[in-house]
Amino acid sequence: MKFLKALCAGLLLTAGIAGSAAAQEFTDNDMMGSGKLLATGGVTELEGAGGGGITPWALITGYETNRQIGASAFGTYANTGHLTVSDGGVAIGLFNRVEISYARLNLGLGDSINAAALTALNKGSNNLTENIEGVKVRLFGDAVYDQYIPEVSAGILLQQSQNKTLVNAIGAKSTGETYYVAFTKLYFDVIFGRDVLLDADIIGTKANQLGLLGFGSTRDEGYHPEFAGSAAILLTRGLAIGADFRTMPRNLKAVGRQGNWSDIFIAYLPNKHFSITAAYAMLGDVATGVDAYPGSTKNQNAFYISRQVAF
């Protein structure tokens, strides 16, 4: 199984770099615990990794220290008026070193320009669904306790569209992988005494609309270097505002040009066990047939809400 392969790869990589582990300030003896500071587990992005709304961060999900195991579960919903996006998943953080995640992402086509054509290819269903299994490993650095070096993590997402007939018909493959390296750092007392978190990612992917429309195309089978970033200001320890940005590959013309994604968010974390994020997301052109229908709806924008529980 892909998930077991990813798990083994993550654990082997962890064993290889364990000697470079950064020191943790907390060393709680409880195996299941939450010794890290509030908000240092991030929230959960759409693909299931710990991070911002649409970008993975170097932070490992949960509040476990280097002697603990943590876990989280999340759900996200957005409605652009033409499309709906729903998402849910779980993740486990091992010793603040390895993150293992699973997410199920669903796109409802609604009344988008290409809805009828895509539904016909999709055995009568107007929903596109994808399963995403992920492994992230913290390589070195610490976003909080290291004064200069950011926390650096590498991850892989194993993605599988559940709509093989459709994605093959539009010239894409139904499975693919996304690779990324994330750099995250929290800077103290930067703006009027408030802390600022910055993140930058380098991403290698073939995914069309995060993989909902498959991977690559008949004219382009290569990986594309994409970039993502986040910036957030912590107004208090449990309240943050910020923005995410992510570039996307442009493999398919049949169902519309894929635009870059961005959002503006506010995250409320009253304690280590619950968080809620509200955002305004700008998803660009999603399955709208822009080239064929110049007058179609191009920019899919929506408010979305995501909730997370951590253990």
pLDDT tens-digit map of 219-269: 666 787 899 999 999 998 889 999 999 998 877 765 556 778 899 999 998
Q: Are 263 and 280 in contact (CB under 8 A)?
A: yes
Q: How many CA atoms lie within 13 A of 251 on its CB side?
A: 29
Q: Among all chains, which residue has been given the structure tokens 């009568």?
A: 124
Evaluate whether 41 touches 71 at the Cβ level (below 8 Å): no
Res 117: pLDDT: 56
Give the span between the Cα atoms of 194 and 236, in whole angstroms: 8
Helix extents (H) in 46-176: 115-121, 164-169
- Using DSSP bridges, classify how beta strands 194-205 and 151-161 pair: parallel, antiparallel or unpaired: unpaired
Closest CA to 46 of 288, 240, 261: 261
- Put residue 48 in one of left, alpha, beta given phi > 0 → left and psi -120 to 50 → alpha: left
User: Within 13 Å, how many C-alpha atoms sit on residue 164's CB side?
Assistant: 3
pLDDT at 302: 77
User: In 140-154, which positions are buried (b, 16+ CB within 10 angstroms) versus exposed (e)?
Assistant: ebbbbeeeeebbbbb
CB-count exposure of residue 217 (10 Å: 0-12, 13-18, 19+): buried
Q: Which amino acid is it at 219?
A: R
Q: Which residues lie below 8 Å from residue 292, measured CB to CB, with a gap of 6+?
A: none
Q: Which domains does the chain carry? A: 2-21+36-310 (2.40.160.40)
User: Considering only CA atoms, which of 124, 85, 125 is closest in space to residue 105?
Assistant: 85
> Using CA atoms, how far apart are residues 42 and 92, in angstroms rounded to an integer?
13
Q: What digits encode the pLDDT tens for the residues 33-69?
A: 566 666 667 788 889 898 888 899 999 987 778 888 9
Helix, strand, or coil here: 286?
coil
* pLDDT for the residue numbered 252: 73
- H helices of the chain, where? 2-17, 115-121, 164-169
Strands 151-161 vs 127-140: parallel, antiparallel or unpaired: antiparallel
Tokens at residue 296, please? 């179609």
| Tokens at 189, concatenated | 């007392």
- Please report where in the chains the tokens 């929230």 appear, as a residue: 43
Write out the chain's pLDDT in tens, 311 residues.
444 344 434 433 443 333 333 333 334 456 665 666 666 677 888 898 988 888 999 999 877 788 889 888 999 988 877 778 888 999 999 998 999 999 999 887 765 555 555 555 556 566 788 999 999 999 999 888 877 899 999 999 999 988 888 788 878 888 999 999 999 999 999 898 899 999 999 999 988 888 888 888 776 667 878 999 999 999 988 899 999 999 988 777 655 567 788 999 999 988 878 889 999 888 766 655 434 333 344 567 778 889 888 77
Helical ranges in 110-260 per DSSP H: 115-121, 164-169
Question: Can you give the pLDDT at residue 136?
Answer: 97
| Torsion from C-alpha of 268, 274, 261, 303, nearest 10 degrees | -70
Q: In this structure, are residues 42 and 50 in contact, taking their beta carbons and an 8 Å threshold?
A: yes
